[in-house]
């Protein structure tokens, strides 16, 4: 056995060859053939060993481009050694040298993974070199192809953002896992996670921060989920895990609790400390279902219960939840129909200037008159619309109908109409052109439309450009629910908005000698200082009204003046000489006690689904 040169993989022009030849004569001949080819392309640096075993040891250290196996080696166990060489062949290509008539062996060699073979009697130096070079090249191409296929498979089965398996590969793995569990009569638990407050982060810090957060959440999940367990991102802020072979029924709950606690720890995004939490639902095979879809559905329903119970909680599935899952399903389908079959209606709630005793605007609030459930609150169905892609058509219908209605107001021809806009609408690249088109179609003068965006939405990354564009178009904008979001006043100052609507939680219960009124006072002062109009929302009592007026806020909206009214009542009401906001406000004794007013239900449709023609606001004594 000879060993004259070490592999030199770093030499680009030189190929490192591992020669396996038991017969030293044969080894020398091969060496001579390859080394004598001066000036003919690639050179070979050759290491030769007598047996396949030695070769395998060598290969473990790497550094070889190709292996040449002289078949006189280990004659008795020819194929056996070849099998072992095959292990090596994954790392380097193998070329086999056979005796002239041993075609069968040669073919078998190729079948077991060798790149090529040469018959000894026919070998010339050029042919040998070429065969080795081609083997190396083919092997390299095969490897690249395999890697590309693996990459493609990874991309198709994983979520690009978090690198976790995606919905499809999770379903496939879960099915496999369930089949195994059925065979072994084992239990499987499925955990469904949905982040609480993710939308708020996305809206206020931007999508890049949202993506980073999802990556962090995925990292925490991956760390806590066991090696045999599955974890995947279903999409959006939804994740799912499956635990096979659950022996201790407490384990899924304990793991869920560990994860819940880990997710609520702070995140650092854009140098800011942020928080989210997660609502978790658990379902179990075989108790809640035997197939993957059923288990995910049950865990999802349990997750919804956890959300409903105040978020950041864990719930196990139980039968009753199936009903609420069904209800939600019906809600989505019903809403889809409602948009098309005219079951949605708009209400208008006056915004009044108490100084000048006049109506300045009306906010549009959408209502859904469900055929069996009665009136459904927008706080219930707007989030469903946002999650299901129905928000854009719904929002567009609201906007168009509101503009058309306001364009037809005779009693208050100059009053503005305020329309709530969802983040889903704002995300549309052509949102402002759509608004512009609706104004043209309905003939409403642009200055009479006001777009309301919630505070966190207005402070989001994408909103600034839209707000600027709306301002260019001469359309007013308002920040809704002000005080409930995260935006700083400095950030607000840069936003091109016209109105600030103070959230009703700040208004509720405020009175002239209330120490909490300082917050309200500074909000009003700062907003006025920024040149913004300030509207107080949810004004219900005379005390609140007086306090607001004393603090310098004279634009108000709330039950004290009027509940939201159907279109037809609104027009009747605003046309009246003695409309309630025109009453001298210094005569509160003319007003009924609040209790009666609050108990008054909002008008709904009659048996045929028609909205009442005239709503009786006159249930309390009119002044006059």
Interface residues with ligand C2E (CB under 6 A)?
349, 364-366, 377-379, 382, 395, 398, 420-422, 480-481, 504, 538-540, 558-559, 564
Q: Which is nearer to ligand C2E, 78 or 483 (CB)?
A: 483
366 binds, among ligand C2E, Ca ion, none (CB under 5 to 8 A by kind): ligand C2E
- Closest contact distance (angstroms) between CB of 232 and ligand C2E is 32
Instruction: Give the Cα separation of 210 and 212 in Å (integer).
Output: 5
* Beta carbon nearer to ligand C2E, 280 or 517: 517
Q: At what angle do helices 251-263 and 207-224 cross, to 10 degrees?
A: 150
Site for Ca ion in 409-448 (CB under 5 A): 420
The residue among 125 and 378 lying less far from ligand C2E, judged by its C-beta, is: 378
CB of 277 to Ca ion, least distance (A): 24
- Tell me the C-alpha distance between 545 and 193, whole Å: 44
The three-state secondary structure class of 23 is coil
Residue 158 CB, nearest distance to ligand C2E (Å)? 34
State which H helix or E strand residue 452 sits in.
strand 449-454
CB of 378 to ligand C2E, least distance (A): 4
Nearest distance from residue 398's CB to ligand C2E, in Å? 4
456 binds, among ligand C2E, Ca ion, none (CB under 5 to 8 A by kind): none
Residue span binding Ca ion (CB under 5 A) among the ranges 29-37, 201-209, 216-224, 536-544:
536-544
Which residues, other chains included, contact 373 with Cβ-Cβ below 8 Å and sequence gap of 6+? none
Q: Tell me the backbone φ, ψ of residue 100, rounded to 5 degrees.
A: -40, -55
From the list Ca ion, ligand C2E, none, pick the one residue 350 interacts with, judged by a Cβ distance below 5 to 8 Å according to partner type. Answer: none
CB of 116 within 8 A of CB of 141?
Answer: no
Cβ proximity to Ca ion, 279 vs 420, nearer residue: 420
Bridge-based pairing of strands 476-482 and 449-454 is parallel
- One symbol per residue from 537 to 556: x for binding Ca ion (CB under 5 A), - otherwise; what is it? x-------------------
Structure tokens at 108: 């078998």
Q: Cβ neighbours of residue 595 under 8 Å, at least 6 residues apart?
A: none
Q: Does the footprint of Ca ion cover residue 480 (CB under 5 A)?
A: yes
Number of residues that bind Ca ion (CB under 5 A): 5
- CB-based contact 191:303 (threshold 8 Å): no
Shortest reach from residue 318's CB to ligand C2E, in Å: 31
Q: How far apart are CA 132 and CA 117, in angstroms?
A: 10
User: Minimal CB distance to ligand C2E: which residue?
Assistant: 558
In the bound state with Ca ion, the residue whose beta carbon lies nearer, of 97 and 352, is: 352
Give the whole-angstrom CA distance, residue 57 versus residue 62.
Answer: 9
Q: What is the largest CA-CA distance in the chain?
A: 125
What is the C-alpha to C-alpha distance for residues 55 and 50, in angstroms, rounded to an integer? 8
Of 386 and 481, CB closest to Ca ion:
481
Distance set, CA 526 to CA 148, 229, 467, 529, 548 (Å): 59, 54, 20, 5, 15
Three-class DSSP category at 288: coil
Binder of residue 540, out of Ca ion, ligand C2E, none (CB less than 5 to 8 A by kind): ligand C2E
Smallest distance from the beta carbon of 456 to Ca ion, in angstroms? 12
316 lies in the site for Ca ion, by CB under 5 A: no
Nearest-angstrom CA–CA distance, 317 and 277:
20
Q: Is 452 in the site for Ca ion (CB under 5 A)?
A: yes
- What 409-416 contacts at long range (C-beta under 8 Å, 24+ apart), as own/partner pairs, is 409/571, 409/574, 410/571, 410/575, 411/571, 411/574, 411/575, 412/359, 412/574, 414/448, 415/359, 415/360, 415/361, 415/362, 415/448, 415/574, 416/360, 416/361, 416/362, 416/447, 416/448, 416/449, 416/450, 416/476
**Measured from the CB atom, is 159 or 480 closer to Ca ion?**
480
| Identity of the residue, 237 or 537, whose beta carbon is nearer to Ca ion in the bound complex | 537
Q: Which does 377 bind (CB under 5 to 8 A by kind): ligand C2E, Ca ion, none?
A: ligand C2E
Least separation in angstroms between CB 554 and ligand C2E:
17
Mark residue 255 as left, alpha or beta (left: phi above 0; alpha: psi -120 to 50; beta: remaining). alpha
| Contact partner at residue 378 from ligand C2E, Ca ion, none, CB < 5 to 8 Å by partner kind | ligand C2E
* Under rule CB under 5 A, residue 557 binds Ca ion: no
Residue 538 interacting entry, from ligand C2E, Ca ion, none, C-beta within 5 to 8 Å by type = ligand C2E
Nearer to Ca ion, 420 or 422 (CB): 420
b/e per residue, 228-241, with b = 16+ CB within 10 A?
ebbbbbbeebbbbb
Q: How far is the CB of 300 from ligand C2E (least distance, A)?
A: 25
Contact between residue 116 and residue 131 where contact means Cβ atoms under 8 Å apart: yes
Q: Residue 334 touches which of Ca ion, ligand C2E, none (CB < 5 to 8 A by kind)?
A: none
Smallest Cα–Cα separation from 5: which of 57, 46, 44, 34?
Answer: 46
**In the complex, minimum distance from the CB of residue 447 to ligand C2E, in angstroms, rounded to a whole number:** 21
Nearer to ligand C2E (CB atom), residue 113 or residue 378: 378
Instruction: Provide the token pair at 87.
Output: 């292990």
Burial class (CB in 10 A: 0-12, 13-18, 19+), 262: middle
481 binds Ca ion (CB under 5 A): yes
Q: Distance between CA atoms of 280 and 313, rounded to whole angstroms?
A: 6
- Smallest separation, CB 286 to ligand C2E (Å): 42
Shortest Å, Cβ 478 to Ca ion? 8
CA separation for the pair 483, 72 (Å, rounded) = 87
Nearer to Ca ion, 169 or 420 (CB): 420
Q: Which does 382 bind (CB under 5 to 8 A by kind): Ca ion, ligand C2E, none?
A: ligand C2E
| H helix or E strand, kind and range, residue 170 | helix 167-184
User: What does 558 bind: Ca ion, ligand C2E, none (CB cut-off 5 to 8 Å by kind)?
Assistant: ligand C2E
Residue number, 212 or 363, with CB nearest to ligand C2E = 363
Query: Residue 239 Cβ, how far from Ca ion at the closest point, in Å?
Result: 32
Beta-carbon count within 10 A of 212 CB: 19
Q: In the complex, which residues of this chain contact Ca ion (CB under 5 A)?
A: 420, 452, 480-481, 537
């Amino acid at each position: 056995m000879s060993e004259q040169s070490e592999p030199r993989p770093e030499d680009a022009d030189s190929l490192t060859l591992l020669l396996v030849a038991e017969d030293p004569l044969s080894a020398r001949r091969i060496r001579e053939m390859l080394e004598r080819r001066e000036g003919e392309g690639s050179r070979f640096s050759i290491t030769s060993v007598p047996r396949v075993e030695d070769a395998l040891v060598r290969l473990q250290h790497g550094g070889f481009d190709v292996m040449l196996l002289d078949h006189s080696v280990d004659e008795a166990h020819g194929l056996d050694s070849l099998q072992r060489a095959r292990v090596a062949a994954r790392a380097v290509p193998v070329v086999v040298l056979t005796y002239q008539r041993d075609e069968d062996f040669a073919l078998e060699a190729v079948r077991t993974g060798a790149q090529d073979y040469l018959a000894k009697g026919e070998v010339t130096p050029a042919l040998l070199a070429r065969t080795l070079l081609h083997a190396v090249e083919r092997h390299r191409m095969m490897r690249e192809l395999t890697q590309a296929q693996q990459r493609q498979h990874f991309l198709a089965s994983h979520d690009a953002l978090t690198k976790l398996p995606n919905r499809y590969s999770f379903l496939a793995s879960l099915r496999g896992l369930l089949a195994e569990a059925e065979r072994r009569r084992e239990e499987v638990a499925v955990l469904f996670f949905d982040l609480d407050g993710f939308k708020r982060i996305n809206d206020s810090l931007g999508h890049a921060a949202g993506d980073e957060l999802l990556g962090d959440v995925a990292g925490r999940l991956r760390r806590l989920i066991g090696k045999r367990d599955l974890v995947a991102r279903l999409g959006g802020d939804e994740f799912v895990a499956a635990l096979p072979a659950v022996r201790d029924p407490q384990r899924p709950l304990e793991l869920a609790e560990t994860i819940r606690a880990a997710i609520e720890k702070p995140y650092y995004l854009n140098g800011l400390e942020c928080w989210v939490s997660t609502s978790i639902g658990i379902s179990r095979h075989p108790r809640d279902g035997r197939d993957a879809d059923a288990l995910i559905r049950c865990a999802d329903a349990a997750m919804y219960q956890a959300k409903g119970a105040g978020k950041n909680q864990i719930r196990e599935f139980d039968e009753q939840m199936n009903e609420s899952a069904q209800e939600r399903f019906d809600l989505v389908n019903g809403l889809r129909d409602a948009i098309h079959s005219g079951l949605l209606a708009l209400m208008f709630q006056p915004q009044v200037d108490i100084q000048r005793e006049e109506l300045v605007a009306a906010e549009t609030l959408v209502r859904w008159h469900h055929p069996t459930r009665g009136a459904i609150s927008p706080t219930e169905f707007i989030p469903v619309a946002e999650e299901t892609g129905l928000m854009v058509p719904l929002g567009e219908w609201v906007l168009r109908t509101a503009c058309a209605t306001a364009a037809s107001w005779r009693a208050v021809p100059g009053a503005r109409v305020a329309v709530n806009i969802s983040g889903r609408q704002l995300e549309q690249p052509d949102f402002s052109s759509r608004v512009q088109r609706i104004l043209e179609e309905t003939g409403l003068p642009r200055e009479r439309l006001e777009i309301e965006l919630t505070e966190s939405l207005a402070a989001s990354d994408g909103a600034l450009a839209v707000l600027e564009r709306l301002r260019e178009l001469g359309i007013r904008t308002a920040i809704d629910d002000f005080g409930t979001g995260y935006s700083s006043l400095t950030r607000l100052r840069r936003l091109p908005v016209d109105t600030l609507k103070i959230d009703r939680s700040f208004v509720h219960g405020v009175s002239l000698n209330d120490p909490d009124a300082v917050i309200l006072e500074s909000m009003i002062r700062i907003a006025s200082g920024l040149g913004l109009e300030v509207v107080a929302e949810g004004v219900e009592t005379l005390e609140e009204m007086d306090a607001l007026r004393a603090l310098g806020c004279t634009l108000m909206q709330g039950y004290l003046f009027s509940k939201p009214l159907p279109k037809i009542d609104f027009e009747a009401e605003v046309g009246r000489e003695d409309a309630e906001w025109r009453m001298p406000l210094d005569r509160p004794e003319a007003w009924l006690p609040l209790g009666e007013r609050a108990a008054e239900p909002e008008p709904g449709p009659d048996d045929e689904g028609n909205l009442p023609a005239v709503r009786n606001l006159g249930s309390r004594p009119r002044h006059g």
